[in-house]
Copies of this chain bind each other. A is one copy, B any other.
Amino acid sequence: MPAWLKHYRRDLLAGDIGAGIIVALMLIPQGMAYAIVAGLPPVAGLYASILPAVAYAMFGSSMVQSIGPAAITALMVASALAGLAPAGSALYATLAAQLALMAGAVLFLSGLFRLGFLSSFLSRPVMSGFTTGAALLIAEGQLAPLLGVDSLASVTPAGSPGAAIGLGSLLALWLAKTSLARLLAKAGMRRSWADIAARLAPVFVLGVAAAAVVYLGWAGGAVRTVGSVPAGLPDIALVTSADHWRALLTPSLLIAFMIFLTSQSAAQSLAQRRGERIDTNSELLGLGAANLATAVSGGFVVSGSISRSAVNYDAGANTPLASVFSAGLLLLALVAPTGWLSFLPMPALAATIIVAVMGMIDLVTLKQAWGYDRGDAGALLATMAGVLLLGVEAGVVVGVVLSLATLLWRSSRPHIAVIGKIPGSEHFRNVQRHQVETLPGVLLLRIDAGLFFGNIDAVIDRLNKLLGERQQRGETMRHVVLVMSGVNLVDMTGLYALNELNNSLKQQGITLNLSEVTGPVMDRLQRSGLLRHKLSGEVYLSTAQAFRELAALTSATPSAT
């Protein structure tokens, strides 16, 4: 039993029930809309909103995360299944469930193996570029359904009942999104409730649109509607060929990665507002369980939703019980007669999708990145271009590669400072930024990073360059002191390089000394034998001690720089 359930208090109940109702009202249009984006019948979006929410409540770590279908992962499902089965076929639905099963297994195993740290390897600008690109792709795909046609080529300037419903819904949703909360607040509603009411606009717009098509006699004829929805829960099939499993392997990995990234950022931003901590590995377990649950309930991949989770929180959710209530309400809606769903007009659903993804287009980050860091702005644009030109999967890969390249580049440039003594103190500071004393023939170098294969070449290179510069100025170098206070790790490659450095300095008549070696690093260096037998210089406890003793050794007086 999860901790929140064990310690559940009666006074939390009202908030959880209220939030549960509101989120259920949001989930009905969203679930159906994203099922359409995924190429599935709208009802699959409802299937995907019930069991997964309960599974997440049992395993997940966020108190207010709302689990269900989401725009980006729905697009990725459509992209993964495009070549494998015709949209709408039974095989397509089976493959969608199978993809969720595989992504769920990947997430669950990643949680067990504590791979949560992988989440931090897409920078926010890259993520922003990816999201904007995906939103544009989704919106573009909904233009024809919005206008009630099969392809944009068959749009007629005269208009059609479908286009009227679609564009009317779009206008209503847009006005609701941009002005409704303000108007309600002006009319005296509490601001937080006005915001929530505005979020429920899609369910009202869909209701009005459905009523209109029924009243006008357009339902299923002049305007495409959702059509008959089987009551109750679906038949499940998960058996396909080995070829299908193989074809879905890469997409399932990419989708699992995106599920984690989007959910994690939703969970984290709300946890910060609640002053809580998210455990990334529990989060992985919860997301894995939710996707395994969606696979066995005829749905498709689910993830946390930033917008729904925020509403859930604002509406007073205290625990995952709110999501369980939502799930219960959706289940009731499905086992009750589902005739009401069949009249929902497809153009109105397309309008809800377009308005939803328009909110994901993020030009603010691009603008800020442009002003703050051109490299980040370039990565954002490249990832967006990757999504738009090469597709959503290639876009993820472009983003990961760009982020990794940045990481490699940064790791290979560790922070190193030549330091000197602040006169009359025992402080040592960067010679470039402070008035400090140095000893002729002695180089004090502070290394502010662990020494490992990714940066050791750069460190040695920098050291040799500094020695070379001093020697060219006619200074006879005698001692090098590496100040190791910031070095929390020396790996095998670093150890070898230190050994070689020690030997090559020795040949030049220069001793290699260490100071302020941290405890764990010292233990390891001693075990390796570098310190006991080979080090040409000394290991000093403090840099001040090194400075004193080397001043005595070289009979030099400190000179100010």
**Partner-B contacts on A (CB < 8 A):** 117-125, 268-269, 272-273, 275, 277, 280, 365, 368-369, 371-373, 376, 403-404, 406-413, 415, 425-427, 433, 448-450, 452-458, 460-461, 464-465, 468, 486, 488-489, 491-493, 495-496, 500-501, 503-504, 507-508, 518-519, 524, 527-528
- When distances are taken between beta carbons in the complex, the residues of chain B under 8 Å from A121 are 408, 412, 453-454
User: What is the minimal beta-carbon distance from A274 to any residue of chain B, in angstroms?
Assistant: 9
User: What is the minimal beta-carbon distance from A342 to any residue of chain B, in angstroms?
Assistant: 44
Q: What separation, in Å, do the CA atoms of A495 and B461 have in the docked complex? A: 31
- When distances are taken between beta carbons in the complex, the residues of chain B under 8 Å from A449 are 448-449
Indicate if the CB atoms of B465 and A277 lie closer than 8 Å: yes
Besides A272-B504, A275-B507, 13 other A-B contacts (C-beta < 8 A): A117-B409, A123-B452, A123-B492, A273-B504, A275-B504, A372-B524, A373-B491, A373-B524, A407-B407, A415-B486, A425-B426, A448-B449, A449-B449
Indicate if the CB atoms of B412 and A120 lie closer than 8 Å: yes
Indicate if the CB atoms of A118 and B368 lie closer than 8 Å: no
Indicate if the CB atoms of A492 and B373 lie closer than 8 Å: yes
Q: What separation, in Å, do the CA atoms of A269 and B503 have in the docked complex? A: 11
Q: Which of A426, A452, A524 has the most CB of B within 10 A?
A: A452
- When distances are taken between beta carbons in the complex, the residues of chain B under 8 Å from A118 are 408
Q: Which of A277, A415, A465 has the most CB of B within 10 A?
A: A415
- When distances are taken between beta carbons in the complex, the residues of chain B under 8 Å from A277 are 461, 464-465, 468
Q: What separation, in Å, do the CA atoms of A406 and B455 have in the docked complex? A: 13
- When distances are taken between beta carbons in the complex, the residues of chain B under 8 Å from A491 are 123, 373, 376
30 of the cross-chain contacts (CB-CB < 8 Å) are: A117-B458, A120-B412, A120-B454, A120-B458, A121-B412, A123-B452, A123-B492, A123-B493, A124-B492, A124-B496, A272-B503, A273-B507, A275-B504, A275-B507, A275-B508, A277-B464, A371-B527, A371-B528, A373-B491, A376-B491, A376-B493, A404-B404, A407-B407, A407-B408, A407-B411, A410-B454, A427-B427, A433-B518, A433-B519, A486-B486
Q: What separation, in Å, do the CA atoms of A453 and B121 have in the docked complex? A: 7
Q: What separation, in Å, do the CA atoms of A449 and B486 have in the docked complex? A: 9
Number of copies: 2
Indicate if the CB atoms of A500 and B427 lie closer than 8 Å: no
User: What is the minimal beta-carbon distance from A382 to any residue of chain B, in angstroms?
Assistant: 14
Q: What separation, in Å, do the CA atoms of A506 and B399 have in the docked complex? A: 33
Q: What separation, in Å, do the CA atoms of A104 and B499 have in the docked complex? A: 33
- When distances are taken between beta carbons in the complex, the residues of chain B under 8 Å from A365 are 492
Indicate if the CB atoms of A410 and B452 lie closer than 8 Å: yes
Indicate if the CB atoms of A527 and B372 lie closer than 8 Å: yes
Indicate whether A408 sits within 8 Å of B117 (C-beta atoms), given known contacts A426-B427, A492-B124.
yes
User: What is the minimal beta-carbon distance from A487 to any residue of chain B, in angstroms?
Assistant: 9
Q: What separation, in Å, do the CA atoms of A120 and B268 have in the docked complex? A: 34
